[in-house]
Amino acid sequence: MSTMQTDSDSKNEEGSRNTQSIKLDDEKQSVTDDLSNFPPAPDGGLEAWLVAAGGAALFFCCLGFANSFGSFEEYYLSHQLSDRSPDDIAWIGSLSAFLSFASGMVGGPLFDRYGAAVVRPAALAYVVSMMLLSLCNTYWQIMLVQGVLMGVLQGFLQFPAFAAAAQWFDKKRATALGIAVAGSSIGGIVFPIALSNMLNGSSLGFGWSVRVMGFVMIPFVAFACITVKPRLPSRKTKFWMPEAYRDIKFSLLIVAMFFLFFSFLTPIFFLPTYAVSRGINPTLAGYLLAILNAASTFGRVIPAILADKYGRLNAFALGGILTAVTIFCFNQVTNTVGFVAYAIFFGFASGTIISGASAAMSLCTDDPRNIGTYMGMGMSISGVGGLIGPPVSGAFVRTYGGFYEVAMFSGAMCLVGGLVTLGTKFSTPQGIFGRI
């Protein structure tokens, strides 16, 4: 009797697995049939490149502004938040970085379902939040506006930019995403230089310096509101796709990005502070972020072009490993020439991480209408690394009074991320040596 029951249960389980397999195959076939009603991605043309340019405009205002947090940190430590420790202030930037990814859990699926209607209200609210920041004087005011509000709104702008560009490009998708994300590097050039000059070399003060940045953003977000749009009709399926987490490749990429996001923000947040501690002029120290982001512009576009030819996972893994090597060298820089050279090398190497992450994540789904959802679901989890990484780095600086320990720790974390990305290739049909 017991044996018959066991056989029956086994058959039921096997039947259930077969039913699930047939269901997944039917869903994939349905996706293929549905997409066959539309022409393939143009991979170019005026309209497609305008979508990528609109994405670059959004990244200019969002991640580009976030990349200037090192200038804010150095200013906060010597002015209105001088009573706070470096890791207290780092929490502001790290919370903003985390929420810009975490809010993609909602922002990505919203774009997949409602298209460009998500972008316009978020763009208006983002400009308003800049004006609110100019009025902040206390730690918790700055935390709520720059850390929470702006972080959430960045996710509602950046993930639609990712998803829109991915729909218009297929064979050149990594290139298009690299160009879009390169907007953040250009913003990382403009904002640190402007902020450094206005905060340290003028009588404008904090309030008007931030307001000027808000006015600069207005034409960029207006351009993005016109150009960022989906190519395909919105999907009508469920809001989230939890079955994606059963994909080994998707899960490994999330783990890899956690370690990379945890570590690669350390030089971006602390390079100006470290330079000042070595006797570099504060204004010049603010320029280091601009130099870093100028190099990052090339680091986001050139590897992206190569990724379309030699493999997106290959480029992403190599970028993570090279970034780890440069972080290990962080504490070895002691003079002006060394700081400039370091900013260039780190900027180029780390430029691959954001653009490479988005291109690698797009490999996890066959339907372009799901890319926003997949990116949001993945990066919202890996973004936890961006939340805890900089404060941990700040605690290292406070505890040891130097930057050697934090360089070794962050470099090791980044190396793990690069190696996990490399290991992800084992879960693909092409294998470890394939061009994927």
Confirm whether 436 is domain-assigned. no
* pLDDT at residue 54 greater than cutoff 60: yes
Q: 23: exposed, middle or buried (C-beta count within 10 Å: 0-12, 13-18, 19+)?
A: exposed
Confirm whether 15 is domain-assigned. no
Confirm whether 103 is domain-assigned. yes
Lowest pLDDT segment from 26-30, 57-61, 83-87, 300-304: 26-30
- The domain in which residue 203 lies consists of 45-228+242-427
Q: What is the mean pLDDT of residues 322-332?
A: 92
* pLDDT at residue 127 greater than cutoff 70: yes
Confirm whether 116 is domain-assigned. yes
Write out the two tokens for 185.
């590097």
| Model pLDDT for residues 229-288, shown as the tens digit of each residue | 988 887 777 778 888 888 889 999 999 999 998 998 888 878 888 888 888 887 788 788
Structural contact between residues 379 and 104, judged by C-beta atoms closer than 8 angstroms: yes
Give the CATH number for residue 358.
Answer: 1.20.1250.20
What is the rounded distance in angstroms from the CA atom of residue 376 to the CA atom of residue 387? 16
Confirm whether 65 is domain-assigned. yes
Give pLDDT, residue 367: 80
| Model pLDDT for residues 376-431, shown as the tens digit of each residue | 898 889 888 878 888 888 888 888 888 888 899 999 999 999 999 998 888 887 77
Confirm whether 89 is domain-assigned. yes
Confirm whether 388 is domain-assigned. yes
Lowest pLDDT segment from 62-66, 93-97, 109-113, 315-319: 93-97
Give pLDDT, residue 35: 63
Structural contact between residues 118 and 66, judged by C-beta atoms closer than 8 angstroms: no
Q: What is the dihedral angle through the alpha carbons of 211, 144, 75, 293, rounded to the nearest 10 degrees? A: -80
Structural contact between residues 429 and 125, judged by C-beta atoms closer than 8 angstroms: no
Among 374, 149, 169, 346, which Cα is nearest to 257's? 374
Confirm whether 29 is domain-assigned. no
- Residue 192 vs residue 213, higher pLDDT: 213
Q: 181: exposed, middle or buried (C-beta count within 10 Å: 0-12, 13-18, 19+)?
A: buried
Total count of domains within the chain: 1
What is the rounded distance in angstroms from the CA atom of residue 350 to the CA atom of residue 261? 10
Give pLDDT, residue 200: 76
| Model pLDDT for residues 198-243, shown as the tens digit of each residue | 887 777 888 898 999 999 999 999 999 999 998 888 777 777 888 8
Give pLDDT, residue 23: 44
